[in-house]
């Protein structure tokens, strides 16, 4: 076989192989590495929180003066409170939630509250149950060695509708407002944070002032 014929024959034999290789190259997508899953160092969003600690009223609620009874100052009352809250973190600076707050306040047997002058007397300790809404604003955060802002100082405030028991002692509901500073630390367990806050409060109708110290724990989903 002469040289030109050999070249033509080799070309004819090579063309199908090249066509198949080109078709395979165009039909098979390039192989890429699977994108790594990146977790947030701090989870934010829907959260559940619990609060608890001592609570104090500077003067337990008492009625205003009447034609027959003078105004009496209520006694200083110490107690304990517990609170649950469900809310949402809009971002690292603002959270809004709804809460249910319960407290048990101590008072001596000489505390008659609003029952003085009525046919049904009640005295001593009382409890308060308050559903309401709250908002928290983070003011400044401090980063750790990994440049993650885990420690935050914040202010939290809210309002709620307070119900008292026994009703004979304090028969009428009241509006509770509160506000105060706190500090929160986001742990390396991404969903959990712990904190401590001090809030001042007021029962609007009776003008009763108080304050509470509340360690707290939150879980973000």
Q: What pLDDT, on a 0 to 100 scale, did the predictor assign at position 12?
A: 52
Domain ranges of the chain: 46-220
Provide the residue count of the chain: 221
* 75 pLDDT higher than 90: yes
pTM, two decimals, is 0.80
Helix (H) / strand (E) element for 22: namely helix 3-27
Pairing verdict, β 192-203 and 94-105: unpaired
Structure-model confidence comparison of residues 63 and 50, the more confident one: 50
Classify domain 46-220 by CATH number: 2.40.160.20
CB atoms within 10 A of CB 26: 8
| Residue burial 129-145, b: 16+ Cβ < 10 Å; e: rest | ebebebebebeebeeee
pLDDT digits (tens, 9 = 90+) for 124-141: 999 999 999 999 999 999
Structure-model confidence comparison of residues 40 and 187, the more confident one: 187
* 71 pLDDT higher than 80: no
CA 9 and chain centroid, separation: 80
Ranges assigned E (strand) in the chain: 46-57, 77-89, 94-105, 126-143, 149-165, 174-186, 192-203, 208-220
* 64 pLDDT higher than 90: no
CA distance 13 to 27: 23
* Residue 49 Cα distances to 134, 216, 220, 221, angstroms: 12, 7, 9, 11
pLDDT digits (tens, 9 = 90+) for 93-116: 999 999 999 999 999 998 999 988
């Amino acid at each position: 076989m002469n040289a030109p014929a050999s070249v033509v024959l080799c070309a004819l034999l090579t063309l199908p192989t090249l066509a198949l290789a080109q078709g395979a190259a165009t039909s098979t997508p390039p192989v890429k590495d699977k994108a790594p899953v990146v977790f947030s160092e701090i989870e934010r969003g829907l959260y559940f929180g619990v609060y608890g600690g001592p609570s104090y009223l500077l003067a337990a609620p008492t009625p205003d003066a009447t034609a027959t009874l003078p105004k009496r100052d209520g006694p200083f009352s110490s107690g304990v409170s517990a609170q649950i809250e469900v809310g949402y973190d809009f971002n690292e600076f603002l959270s809004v939630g709804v809460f249910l707050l319960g407290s048990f306040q101590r008072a001596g047997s000489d505390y008659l509250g609003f029952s003085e002058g009525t046919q049904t007397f009640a005295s001593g300790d009382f409890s308060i149950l308050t559903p309401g809404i709250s908002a928290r604003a983070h003011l400044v955060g401090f980063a750790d060695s990994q440049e993650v802002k885990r420690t935050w100082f914040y202010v939290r405030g809210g309002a709620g509708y307070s119900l008292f028991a026994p009703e004979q002692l304090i028969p009428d509901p009241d509006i509770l407002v509160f506000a105060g500073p706190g500090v929160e630390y986001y742990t390396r367990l991404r969903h959990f944070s712990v904190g401590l806050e001090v809030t001042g409060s007021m029962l609007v109708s009776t003008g009763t002032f108080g304050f509470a110290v509340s360690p707290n724990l939150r879980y973000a989903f």
